[in-house]
Amino acid sequence: AMDETQIASILKSSELYPIPQSVKLSYGTAGFRADASLLESTVYRVGILSSLRSLKLNSSTVGLMITASHNKVSDNGVKVSDPSGGMLSQEWEPFADQIANASSPRELVSLIKDFVEKEEIAIEKGGEVWLGRDTRPSGERLLRAAEIGVRSVLGSVAVDVGSSKLVLDGANGVGGLKMEVLIRSLSDIDVEIRNTGRDGGVLNEGVGADFVQKEKVVPLGFGVKDAGMRCASFDGDADRLVYFYIPSESCGGDKVELLDGDKILSLFALFIKEQLNIIGDEGKKCRLGVVQTAYANGASTDYVKEMGLEVVFAKTGVKHLHEKAEEFDVGIYFEANGHGTILFAECFLSWLVGKQKDYSEGSDKHNAVSRLVALSNLINQAVGDALSGLLLVEVILQHMGWSVQKWNELYKDLPSRQVKVEVLDRTAVVTTSEETEALKPLGIQDAINAEIKKYGRGRAFIRPSGTEDVVRVYAEASTQEAADSLASSVAQLVKSFLEMAFVRNIL
Ligand code: G16
């Protein structure tokens, strides 16, 4: 049966897709077909149906295809296929008709509720629906509606099996402009670039990777119309990269689901580890390691450790991470802010190239080795850059058949908060080499520790910025409210300890 949260989720998302007046739709010869402008609410509802169908069949994969086949381009349609690949069981067609024509969110929910009970569907397990579309211009918008429908059945995942469009925020900087040039020579990736600076937008103002990562809100030029889309942000000089998407439940709010440098690192680590596993015993000998900073979300560190990888910590600043990553055969480093890359040791790379000759072409091992060699050529091993990082994320997602949402599920970030404190003299703060503890001002670390103790999974540190006149505070805890409160009490400590230190200096 459906619980309150589930009901609320469908009620909320269905508000986004009101049914057009005076249309009567029926699941015909090949699903629903109509003028594309009438179909958003229908496709959204078929998304819900597809999740239920998957759940009914023990979470097997169900397909949802958006096409009006031979009909004119302004038409579109939606049909569902069962896990066998054949058409949706005809027994479900009457239910499809009923929900497609439900006149209000309440009626929709009540039809779904009755059906779930009648069919004895265990709705809490989570289903899986693969989405596809043809080349019709209305396809993308409808695919978004289908995705929202699928996910409004909580726990269900929608996998976009086409190479769907990426929307890039260029931070009104140099990266967006260069990306425009780069994508002209790429056929396998579809990118729409916004905030190129040409429309008068200001560099890094309300846009860009730093803004999105720190504030966790949508950059200018993005909004609820982009809900569910795979989006990415560069920073002003295009050496940072973060991904994000606007959750469908946001209904006009400005919050984003952020996939930061830690998530990018985790995706890269997973992919490389998989290739090494395919290579077998010899591959497993490779020393694959990860370098993070104190800013790394605790959940990401746990995730890579569980994968069996070695994790070391470095001081903020890519130059410090780079140095430590060089100690591995394959060293992946990323700052949470999206700065990072992957380094291949010379001798390991020549070993890989040698193996490429040993293994027979087309074999699994040959493919795995070739993927790693290609990766080493694609990624910028000098210091990393957002363009090559983005291309690598895109190929891995395509290789896995993953949506940005599926990628985001690798682990769930612990809630965190970063704030900066303007101080008279930031050099009064001196930290240990990994920046996790403050050595000066004397006594401040004990005071911070006492605050941390008050919170479940609490963690916090302070460090003087290396780029502006502030002291930075990072806090993490089991809820967002707790992380916010820990950050603000540590910020308060910074203020009072630094004022005292300043006064003492003058006296
Ligand atoms: C620079 C470094 C980054 C570092 C950041 C930290 O970023 O290149 O590796 O994470 O500074 O800044 P702060 O010390 O102020 O916290 P960017 O993007 O400004 O070159």
Query: Each residue of 116-145: pLDDT tens digit?
Result: 999 999 988 889 999 999 989 899 889 989
b/e string for 212-242 if b means 16 or more Cβ within 10 A?
bbeebbbbbbbeeebbbbbbbbbbbebbbbb
Residue nearest to atom 8 of ligand 1 (CA): 317
Atom of ligand 1 nearest to the CA of 337: 10
CB neighbours of 174 closer than 8 A, spacing ≥ 6?
236, 237, 238
Domains 262-382 and 416-506 agree in fold: no
When pLDDT is cut at 50, 70 and 90, the band that residue 21 belongs to is: confident
Q: DSSP secondary structure string, 53-115?
A: HHHHTTT-EEEEEE--TTS-TTEEEEEEE-TTSSBPPGGGHHHHHHHHH--SHHHHHHHHHHH
Mean pLDDT, rounded, for 343-357? 96
Mean pLDDT, rounded, for 466-487? 96
Q: Please report the pLDDT score of residue 23 as a whole number.
A: 81
Find the DSSP H helices in 383-443.
386-400, 404-408
**pLDDT exceeds cutoff 80 at 411:** yes
Q: Please report the pLDDT score of residue 250 as a whole number.
A: 55
Q: Identify the sign of the CA torsion 318, 322, 325, 330.
A: positive
* Tokens 């200018």 -> residue: 220
Q: Please report the pLDDT score of residue 228 as a whole number.
A: 81
Q: Please report the pLDDT score of residue 252 as a whole number.
A: 61
Instruction: Extract the runs of DSSP E, i.e. beta strands, from 2-53.
Output: 32-35
**pLDDT exceeds cutoff 80 at 161:** no
Percent of the chain with pLDDT over 90: 84
In terms of C-beta density within 10 A (0-12 exposed, 13-18 middle, 19 or more buried), how is residue 249 classed?
Answer: middle
Find the DSSP H helices in 197-317.
208-215, 261-279, 281-284, 298-306
* Separation CA 486–CA 448 (nearest Å): 9
Distance 467 CA to ligand 1 centre (A): 6
Choose one of 203, 320, 467 to mutate for the ligand 1 pocket test, by most ligand atoms within 8 angstroms of C-beta: 467
Q: Please report the pLDDT score of residue 163 as a whole number.
A: 82
Distance 338 CA to ligand 1 centre (A): 10
Query: Each residue of 221-275: pLDDT tens digit?
Result: 999 878 888 999 999 999 999 999 998 655 567 999 999 999 999 999 999 999 9
* Separation CA 319–CA 227 (nearest Å): 36
* Separation CA 255–CA 215 (nearest Å): 9
Residue 351: other Cβ atoms inside 10 A: 16
Q: Please report the pLDDT score of residue 400 as a whole number.
A: 85
Is the preceding omega at residue 441 within 30 degrees of 0, hence cis?
Answer: yes
Report the range of poorest mean pLDDT among 72-86, 245-259, 285-299, 336-350: 245-259
* Tokens 């819900």 -> residue: 48
**pLDDT exceeds cutoff 90 at 187:** no
Pocket lined around ligand 1, Cβ cut-off 6 Å:
235, 240, 316-318, 335, 337, 339, 465-468, 472
Residue nearest to atom 7 of ligand 1 (CA): 317
* Separation CA 9–CA 311 (nearest Å): 38
Residue nearest to atom 4 of ligand 1 (CA): 317
Fold of 166-259: Alpha-D-Glucose-1,6-Bisphosphate; Chain A, domain 3 (3.40.120)
* Separation CA 504–CA 217 (nearest Å): 40
Angle CA 167–215–460, to nearest 5 = 130
* Residue spans per domain, the chain: 4-160, 166-259, 262-382, 416-506
Q: Please report the pLDDT score of residue 247 as a whole number.
A: 83
Amino acid at site 299: A
When pLDDT is cut at 50, 70 and 90, the band that residue 503 belongs to is: confident
* Tokens 């230190």 -> residue: 501
Residue nearest to atom 19 of ligand 1 (CA): 467
The CATH number fitting domain 416-506, selected from 3.90.550.10, 3.30.310.50, 3.30.390.50, 2.40.50.140: 3.30.310.50
Report ipTM for this prediction.
0.96
List the beta bridge partners of residue 334. 340
* Inter-CA distances, 203 with 175, 183, 325, 390, 490, Å: 11, 22, 31, 20, 31
What amino acid positions are annotated as catalytic residues?
69
63 with 80: CB under 8 angstroms?
A: yes
Residue nearest to atom 3 of ligand 1 (CA): 317
Among candidate residues 265, 295, 261, the one with its CA nearest the CA of residue 436: 295
Class for the domain spanning 262-382: alpha beta
Distance 466 CA to ligand 1 centre (A): 7
**pLDDT exceeds cutoff 90 at 205:** yes
Choose one of 233, 316, 468 to mutate for the ligand 1 pocket test, by most ligand atoms within 8 angstroms of C-beta: 316
174 with 237: CB under 8 angstroms?
A: yes
Report the range of poorest mean pLDDT among 48-57, 153-162, 311-320, 327-336: 153-162
Mean pLDDT, rounded, for 171-183? 97
Pairing type for strands 340-344 and 330-334 reads: antiparallel
Q: Could you say which DSSP state residue 460 is in?
A: E
Q: Please report the pLDDT score of residue 494 as a whole number.
A: 97
Report the range of poorest mean pLDDT among 29-33, 195-199, 382-386: 29-33
Q: DSSP secondary structure string, 308-363?
A: T-EEEE--SSHHHHHHHHTTSSEEEEE-TTSBEEEEE-HHHHHHHHHHHHHSPTTS
Fold of 4-160: Alpha-D-Glucose-1,6-Bisphosphate; Chain A, domain 3 (3.40.120)
Choose one of 262, 265, 295, 337 to mutate for the ligand 1 pocket test, by most ligand atoms within 8 angstroms of C-beta: 337
Query: Each residue of 61-75: pLDDT tens digit?
Result: 999 999 999 999 999
Mean pLDDT, rounded, for 71-84? 95
Residue 305: other Cβ atoms inside 10 A: 12
**pLDDT exceeds cutoff 60 at 15:** yes
List the beta bridge partners of residue 242. 233
Q: Please report the pLDDT score of residue 249 as a whole number.
A: 58
